[in-house]
Amino acid sequence: MSRQALSGAARYEFLMQIRRPSLWVGTLFFSPILFTFTRATLDRPCFPTIEGCFHFAPIEAVAYWAIISNLIVSIAVGLLMADRFPRDFRVKMDDALQAIPGTAATRVFAKYLGTVGATIIPIFILYAVGLGVILSRGYGPSVIPLGVAAFLVINVPAMLFVGAFSIACTGFMWTPLFQFLFVGYWLWGTLNPTESIPTLSGTLLSSGGVFAFTGILRARGYHDYVPHPSLALALANIAVILGLGALALVAAWRLQLAREGRQ
């Protein structure tokens, strides 16, 4: 895989994605929901947990903002990245891309890197606005570095995971069907594990960020989701979801290789 070909193709995919009006409109669509949840959380006099009632410290304020934005905005990531391969097939761009020097692996991974990189930008802008709201509530300037750290360990791994499967699955699946199944999976996978419906939430396969919430950020309030959170479990959770995303991209590469071999 040529580094020059990879960077050039990733830059092209980045520019194609960042210029899409639907990327910015789709992100803005979720902002009222996000800020409604956030205001309701910050306005509580104290937060009840199984350990008792506690008042938010800056780390809890930004950690909850990261969790809420992850659970809601990751849906937008999956929906907005789902049409990248189908669009190339629809407008015959895949034939043109194959004429450019580079392998099938270059095209798949460049599409992933460029599209994810572009999709993260409006989401981080929205996230930064939320940090500004928290800062305005008198939590102090520490919310900025804490908020960036929370974004990196909660939101970024989830977006990389979701983006990988959005790229991989739509290589062989009808896009609206994937989007429907993805939304159902995401809602099911983020259910409270204490409910009667079995869910991935609270397991190492979860991309909701609950392990990082306590294991890395040391915030309070999610002990009912993960009984014994620790730094090791949080790092293992991130490694598992990133590993699953990497496997999805490898599968997408093999599928692309087989498709080009038939042409």
Taking the C-alpha atoms of 247, 251, 256 and 261 in order, what is their torsion angle to the nearest 10 degrees?
130
Whether residue 196 is predicted with pLDDT greater than 80 in this model: the reply is no
Phi-psi category of 77—alpha, beta or left, where left has phi over 0 and alpha has psi -120 to 50? Answer: alpha
pLDDT bucket at 2, cuts 50 / 70 / 90: low
pTM recorded for the entire structure: 0.87
Residue 192 has what pLDDT?
64
Q: Which residue has the higher pLDDT, 138 or 38?
A: 138
Counting residues of the chain whose pLDDT is more than 90, the rounded percentage is 24
The string of DSSP letters for 196-236 reads SS--STTSTT--S-HHHHHHTT--SS-TTTSSS--HHHHHH
Q: Which of 6-15, 46-55, 129-138, 150-159 has the lowest mean pLDDT?
A: 46-55
Q: What percent of the chain is modeled with pLDDT above 70?
A: 80
Q: Model confidence over 150-182: pLDDT tens digits?
A: 999 999 999 999 999 998 888 778 888 988 999
Locate the domains of the chain by residue range. Answer: 3-262
Reported as a single tens digit per residue, the pLDDT across 203-224 is 888 888 888 988 899 887 766 5
Eight-state DSSP code of residue 152: I
260 close to 104: Cβ distance less than 8 angstroms: yes
**What pLDDT digit, counting tens, does each position of 78-127 carry?**
888 887 666 666 555 555 555 555 577 787 888 899 999 999 999 999 99
